[in-house]
Amino acid sequence: MPFDVRPCRDREEFDRALYAIGQNFFGPPTEEQLDRFLRVLELERMHAAFEAGEIVGGAGAFTFDLSVPCGSLPCAGVTVVGTYPTHRRRGVQRSLMRAQLDDVHERGEPIAALWASEEPIYGRYGYGLASWGGEVSISREANAFARPLERRGQARFVSQEEAKKLFPPVWEALRAERPGVFSRVEAWWETRRLRIPDEEAAHPRRFVALELDGATQAYAIYRTKPGFEGGVSTAKIEVLEALGMNPQATAEIWRFLLDIDWIETVSASLLPPDHPLFLLLAYPRRARYRIADALWVRLVDVGAALSGRAYAGGGSVVFEVRDAFCPWNEGRWRLESGVAARTDEPAELALDVDALGSAYLGAVSFAQLCAALRVEELVDGAAARADALFAWRPLPWCPEIF
């Protein structure tokens, strides 16, 4: 039975809706956590599911832009989706997703994106696995670069206040370079990336700016976890974010991290498969890269989403799109010269909207989707034609779970 779902009206409702995910993992949100959340998640973008006047589920959406090939589009950043364990598997989440996607559609946001807690959950709502990310663990013995690096920059520790000014241009450079990167407002930097959470008090995150030719061209946010075994340091560094505006700056910030004394292992996560580190390192195999799904994308308005990104090649393709959850997208779409429009021409590729979401940022090819029985090729060569259009380098990268 569908549940009543509507946006939260006040702080108390927001509190209880946010606690829906908390009920599965944490205690109730504190006043301070609520204040912080409300700085980045608008009250009316937190939906609550009600049963007999009581909130039993919640789902939020950040308002931001997501970089797409050669552009950036309004995107709902879906977050804190939860059902009270007392009400699981009764359709609470389905009701929340229904209301949320209708709202996103009304707002005119052509895409929605999320990090899935478990892979099988979101395909039924039209989200497709749209990018890859993985973790590395680099030991001291295997941290050499394959080629000598001439270091020209200088790293220095900066305060949170300085980081707030120096880091955003580097993040924006990543947004210009790669699809899959969301826009960060100042409150995001303050409350999510640069804030030192209480549980980190003993080993807080550190902020490093790399200056090159008179400007901050790279930065790193990392934590050190000290340790000893038999008097020998087993300390680890956990890299939370390390970005450079260009190849030299990226190489230098990584060299800085890898060279810190007394550290046995440097680990990082969410790195895309084409991260420069893999070819910088002399022993990429020993970085033990382990890949997993990263950002999932939902085309909420197929026409606007497809017309909102750039394409590498020419040519055209006609899709038959199935979208049971958002039927306004269903039907035949012709993509040509960067514009998607409705057509009566015969379909060349037939697919569910989640498969189109997988191909959207360029991380998954139509050839892969055909091989996995996710796309039907109705006209020989159509998948290759679609790949010539959609393929994109560099690959998408979302460096933060939201």
Active site residues: 122, 402
Region from 91-99, 211-219, 312-320, 347-355 binding ligand COA, contact rule CB under 6 A: 91-99
Write the binding mask 2 to 21 for ligand COA: x where contact by CB under 6 A, - elsewhere: -------------------x
Residue 56 Cβ vs ligand COA, minimum distance, rounded to whole Å? 9
Residue 297 Cβ vs ligand COA, minimum distance, rounded to whole Å? 14
Q: What is the dihedral of CA 348, 352, 353, 357, to 10 degrees?
A: -80
Binding test (CB under 6 A) with ligand COA, winner from 5, 46, 76, 92 = 92
The secondary element (H helix, E strand) that includes residue 368 is: helix 366-371
Q: Is 24 in the site for ligand COA (CB under 6 A)?
A: yes
Region from 9-17, 118-126, 217-225, 340-348 binding ligand COA, contact rule CB under 6 A: 118-126
Give the span between the Cα atoms of 37 and 51, in whole angstroms.
24
Q: Which of 315, 298, 398 minimizes the C-alpha distance to 356?
A: 298
Q: Which is nearer to ligand COA, 295 or 364 (CB)?
A: 295
Binding test (CB under 6 A) with ligand COA, winner from 7, 42, 51, 94 = 94
Binding test (CB under 6 A) with ligand COA, winner from 17, 72, 77, 83 = 83
Give the span between the Cα atoms of 302 and 320, in whole angstroms.
11
Site for ligand COA in 231-250 (CB under 6 A): none
Q: What is the dihedral of CA 201, 202, 207, 208, to 10 degrees?
A: 170
As a whole number of Å, the end-to-end CA separation of the chain is: 30
Q: Which is nearer to ligand COA, 59 or 212 (CB)?
A: 59
Residue 80 Cβ vs ligand COA, minimum distance, rounded to whole Å? 7
Q: Which is nearer to ligand COA, 88 or 290 (CB)?
A: 88
Q: Is 154 in the site for ligand COA (CB under 6 A)?
A: no
Q: Which is nearer to ligand COA, 121 or 185 (CB)?
A: 121
Binding test (CB under 6 A) with ligand COA, winner from 117, 154, 200, 204 = 117
Q: Is the CB of residue 341 less than 8 Å from the CB of residue 334?
A: yes
Q: Is the CB of residue 313 less than 8 Å from the CB of residue 388?
A: yes
Contacts of 126 (CB under 8 A, 6+ apart): 101, 298, 299, 323, 325, 326, 352, 353, 354, 357
In the numeric block, the tokens 């205690």 are attached to 27
Q: Is 1 in the site for ligand COA (CB under 6 A)?
A: no
Q: Is 116 in the site for ligand COA (CB under 6 A)?
A: yes
Residue 96 Cβ vs ligand COA, minimum distance, rounded to whole Å? 8
Q: Is 120 in the site for ligand COA (CB under 6 A)?
A: yes
In the numeric block, the tokens 């308002």 are attached to 63
Q: Which of 160, 47, 77, 59 minimizes the C-alpha distance to 401?
A: 77
The full length of the chain comes to: 402
Site for ligand COA in 43-82 (CB under 6 A): 81-82
Binding test (CB under 6 A) with ligand COA, winner from 36, 39, 90, 223 = 90
Question: CA angle, corner 245, sides to 239 and 247, nearest 5?
Answer: 85
Q: Which of 219, 183, 226, 237 minimizes the C-alpha distance to 67?
A: 183
Give the span between the Cα atoms of 383 and 15, in whole angstroms.
47
Q: Is 124 in the site for ligand COA (CB under 6 A)?
A: yes
Residue 112 Cβ vs ligand COA, minimum distance, rounded to whole Å? 12
The total of other beta-carbon atoms located within 10 Å of residue 289's CB is 16
Q: Is 118 in the site for ligand COA (CB under 6 A)?
A: yes
Q: Is 91 in the site for ligand COA (CB under 6 A)?
A: yes
Tell me which residues touch ligand COA (CB under 6 A).
21, 24, 81-83, 88-94, 116-118, 120-121, 124
